Structure 1
Amino acid sequence: MSEDAAVPVVAADGCADGCCSAKGVAPDRRAALTRRVRWLVGATIAYNVVEAAVALTAGTVASSTALIGFGLDSVIEVASALAVAWQFSGADPEARERVALKVIAVSFFALAAYVTVESVRSLVAAEPAAPSTVGVVLAAVSLLVMPFLSHAQRRAGRELGSAGAVADSKQTLLCTYLSGVLLVGLLLNGVLGWWWADPVVALAIGAVAVREGRTAWRGEHCC
């Protein structure tokens, strides 16, 4: 973030109350926060690459739209984190803020479009998904890992006054919610044989993705 910037760019995007303002943050503290965001983004990328590979493979094997949607969300989260990494790789992250937010928003919309189409197709065709033990374990692990990464990045992003970093932390938090929803859906399908739970869960993932995409597009995450 540029040290001579008087007002963050995000102030024009709905943060006029100062919730995204980095004024008063000492240069040393700002540098430390920037390094922290970079580290957290790197950790998020590494975890989600593994998560995406496991979820997409397990989802394909089980013909689970919800699990595939979860895997695609992980791919999109990697794209989101890369956008923030790109933002903070420059000398003036504020100048790249708006582009990073747009990339995050479009990623959400792409996920919503896919899971909605696939969910409706599965419901209409009454295609049951096979139980997936791997999917259950993956969802449970994500419930433990993602809240920590999201909280840490959101705190650093708010103190820095970076809507991009905060938006990416919301993407990570969304993964936590989706992990819980996915876990319930997989258990209902595997234990009770409720095949329709899988596409319904996928639709829920799509609905949340649309909401978060609109928020990122408007630059409202910080407030």
Structure 2
Amino acid sequence: MESTLNAPVHKGWKIATGLALFTVLYNLGEGIISLYYGAQDEALTLAGFGVDSFIEVVSGLGILAMIGRLRRYGNKDRGRFEKLALQITGVCFYALVAGLVIGAGYSAWEQQKPETTVAGIVVSLLSIAIMRVLAGWKIRTGEQLNSASIIADGKCTMVCVYMSVVLLASSVLYELLHLPYIDAAGLLGLAWFSFKEGQESFEKSKDAAACCGHC
């Protein structure tokens, strides 16, 4: 497969592979750290952000699998494979929405208060700085390769930037005001972006299926 690709396309797939691998490794570390400190500090927004990081891992693994398949089998059934990858990502996001809404309800009912949200501030600032660059790079690479799933993965990463902003805002506000409902509001903010991203993934899956015969 690699020998049949021209140099720019071959380079594009190498870049896409590197970006997907970085996504998997970075989000794996971010997810573990977020869940650990989220549980330790009883900061549910940070814990929910950590779960989202693991969905990014799933998305990155899907991209790596797609690239490996393309190199082995070429463009045969590429649209169908991209559709499946996008649908899996969409289902994961919808599952996350349900968990976040339940968590928000629990937090509000119990008037749950994190011990501290310093870890959320640090994680969100780091995520904003890294994910913004990564998202733009993925989208440009996906456009060059005409890959709906890579573009969707880039937009998924951009949504992580928005989620990081929500995490940062809720963490800073709680650290300053210590109001009981800020953590619940942060969870609902993450749920909204997760729902929109799941919806986007399913819409993109339709586009991928439509272009199956042209990829």
Q: Give the TM-score category using the shorter length.
A: 0.7 to 0.9
1:186 aligns with 2:165: no
One of 165, 182, 185 as aligned partner of 1:200: 185
Partner of 1:124: 109
Q: Which amino acid aligns with 2:68?
A: S
Alignment TM-score, normalising by the size of structure 2: 0.88
- The answer to whether the Cα contact below 8 Å between 2:96 and 2:194 also exists between their aligned partners in 1 is yes
Distance 1:41 1:125, change over 3 A: same
1:133 aligns with 2:133: no
- The answer to whether the Cα contact below 8 Å between 2:83 and 2:205 also exists between their aligned partners in 1 is no
Q: What is the CA distance between 1:220 and its match in structure 2?
A: 6.8
- Give secondary structure in 2 for the equivalent of 1:63: coil
Structure 2: which 5+ runs fail to align?
209-215
Q: Deviations over 1:103-147 (max 9, x none)?
A: 111111111111111101111221112212222111111111001
Partner of 1:8: none
- Give secondary structure in 2 for the equivalent of 1:129: coil
Alignment TM-score, normalising by the size of structure 1: 0.85
Q: Equivalents in 2 of 1:221, 1:60: separation in Å?
A: 38
One of 109, 113, 128 as aligned partner of 2:98: 113
Q: Which amino acid aligns with 1:167?
A: A
Partner of 1:29: 8
Q: What is the CA distance between 1:195 and its match in structure 2?
A: 2.3
User: How many residues are matched?
Assistant: 202
Q: Which amino acid aligns with 1:186?
A: S
Please give the root-mean-square deviation of Cα atoms over the aligned residues, in Å.
Answer: 2.2
Q: Which amino acid aligns with 2:51?
A: L
Normalized per residue, the structure richer in helix is 2
Partner of 2:134: 149
Q: Equivalents in 2 of 1:80, 1:196: separation in Å?
A: 31
- The answer to whether the Cα contact below 8 Å between 2:142 and 2:150 also exists between their aligned partners in 1 is yes
Q: Equivalents in 1 of 2:206, 2:158: separation in Å?
A: 12
